[in-house]
Homo-oligomer: A and B are copies of this chain.
Amino acid sequence: MISTLMSQLNPSTSARTTNVSAPRIAFQGERGAFSEQAALQLLGANIKLVPRLTFDTLFTSIAEGLADYILAPLENSLAGSVHRTYDLLVESDLQITAEVVIPIAHHLIGCPGATFEQITTVESHPVALAQCERFFNQFPEIKRLATEDTAGSVAEITESGDQTRAAIAGARAADVYGGIILREHLEDHSENYTRFVLLSSEPHVHERTNKLSLAFKLQHLPAALHRALAPFAHRQINLLKIESRPVKGLPWQYRFYVDLEASVNDAEVVVALDELRSCADEVRLLGCYKAHEF
């Protein structure tokens, strides 16, 4: 699947890319972040990773000529949808061209040569620290220290060489900064995963797509959603995800985000979308791509 996707993403077909063989993938965070892990899982090692500090700068990466694709987190199984990504995606002309789901596994990473018994301080982003409560309850003598970044903490402790300091981050961060994994899976809830989408400035509608992401606006009227879903329900098209959000500054309007088990290569789906357009406003096709799994 990776090699197929890579051939489909061949940058030579893209107007914006420079003449290099590896596509440039922008992601939010530091080297070694979970986003980087997701990019490698989706596309393999032959990519050029472009770390971006904030979501705002991430979403301008293609327009600024710094990247060919953007990888953005869309939802986490514990924390929910990342509305910032949805907002920036809807406002942009970008298209979802692939998705990948990775488990968020928190490992304890120390300096080379360190043993678990030496560790006195554990550093990480507070969200990661909070997801490892059981570990800290088990070892109350270990001091926890908040930082701005999971992978960045691994960079800091390995640079210091201090064998009493460890960090909590994904396995990729240990690889990138030369740390060693002292304990695996510190996370309290194993059902912790994040779904990322690969965004392109051009639509890539491949042959074997089976998932369609849409956004549309509805007036705040009874039965409005029921009517908007009818074109898909009548054609036996499965709904995979639905979420509503109030539209900023417009108190009586809602934007719906819907994922369907469908492809725009299917003529029936095209007709259903036309019917949707007759009863909804601002219908935006966010992308048609191959689902990570069904």
In the A-B complex, the 5 residue pairs with the smallest Cβ-Cβ separation, listed nearest first, are A226-B233, A223-B233, A222-B236, A80-B80, A80-B81
Interface stretch, picked from A4-12, A13-21, A123-131, A175-183, is: A123-131
Q: How far is the CA of A77 from the CA of B80 in the complex (A)?
A: 12
How large, as a class, is the contact surface on chain A?
35 or more
Interface stretch, picked from A42-50, A143-151, A198-206, A283-291, is: A143-151
How many whole Å from A216's CB to the nearest CB in chain B? Answer: 13
Tell me, yes or no, whether A142 is within 8 Å of chain B by CB.
Answer: no
Tell me, yes or no, whether A229 is within 8 Å of chain B by CB.
Answer: yes
Asked if B239 and A242 make an inter-chain contact with CB atoms under 8 angstroms apart, the answer reads no
A 63-88 to B, binary, CB cutoff 8 A, 1 in contact else 0: 00000000000011111111110000
How many whole Å from A27's CB to the nearest CB in chain B? Answer: 15
How many whole Å from A225's CB to the nearest CB in chain B? Answer: 6
Q: What chain B residues lie within 8 Å of A220 (beta carbons)?
A: 238
Asked if A129 and B146 make an inter-chain contact with CB atoms under 8 angstroms apart, the answer reads no
Asked if A241 and B244 make an inter-chain contact with CB atoms under 8 angstroms apart, the answer reads yes
The residue on B at minimum CB distance from A130 is B54
Q: How far is the CA of A33 from the CA of B276 in the complex (A)?
A: 43
- CB < 8 Å neighbour of A80 from B82, B130, B149, B233: B82
A 228-253 to B, binary, CB cutoff 8 A, 1 in contact else 0: 01101111111101111000110000
- CB < 8 Å neighbour of A148 from B126, B149, B234: B126
Asked if A83 and B83 make an inter-chain contact with CB atoms under 8 angstroms apart, the answer reads no
Tell me, yes or no, whether A267 is within 8 Å of chain B by CB.
Answer: no
Asked if A225 and B242 make an inter-chain contact with CB atoms under 8 angstroms apart, the answer reads yes
Considering the complex, which residues of chain A in the window 250-278 have a beta carbon less than 8 Å from any beta carbon of chain B?
256
Provide 9 A-B residue pairs closer than 8 Å at the C-beta atoms, listed in order of the A residue: A56-B133, A79-B79, A79-B83, A80-B83, A126-B126, A129-B148, A144-B148, A146-B147, A243-B243
Q: How far is the CA of A111 from the CA of B126 in the complex (A)?
A: 24
Q: What chain B residues lie within 8 Å of A235 (beta carbons)?
A: 222
Q: How far is the CA of A233 from the CA of B225 in the complex (A)?
A: 8
Q: How far is the CA of A147 from the CA of B124 in the complex (A)?
A: 10
Asked if A222 and B243 make an inter-chain contact with CB atoms under 8 angstroms apart, the answer reads no
Q: How far is the CA of A223 from the CA of B272 in the complex (A)?
A: 13
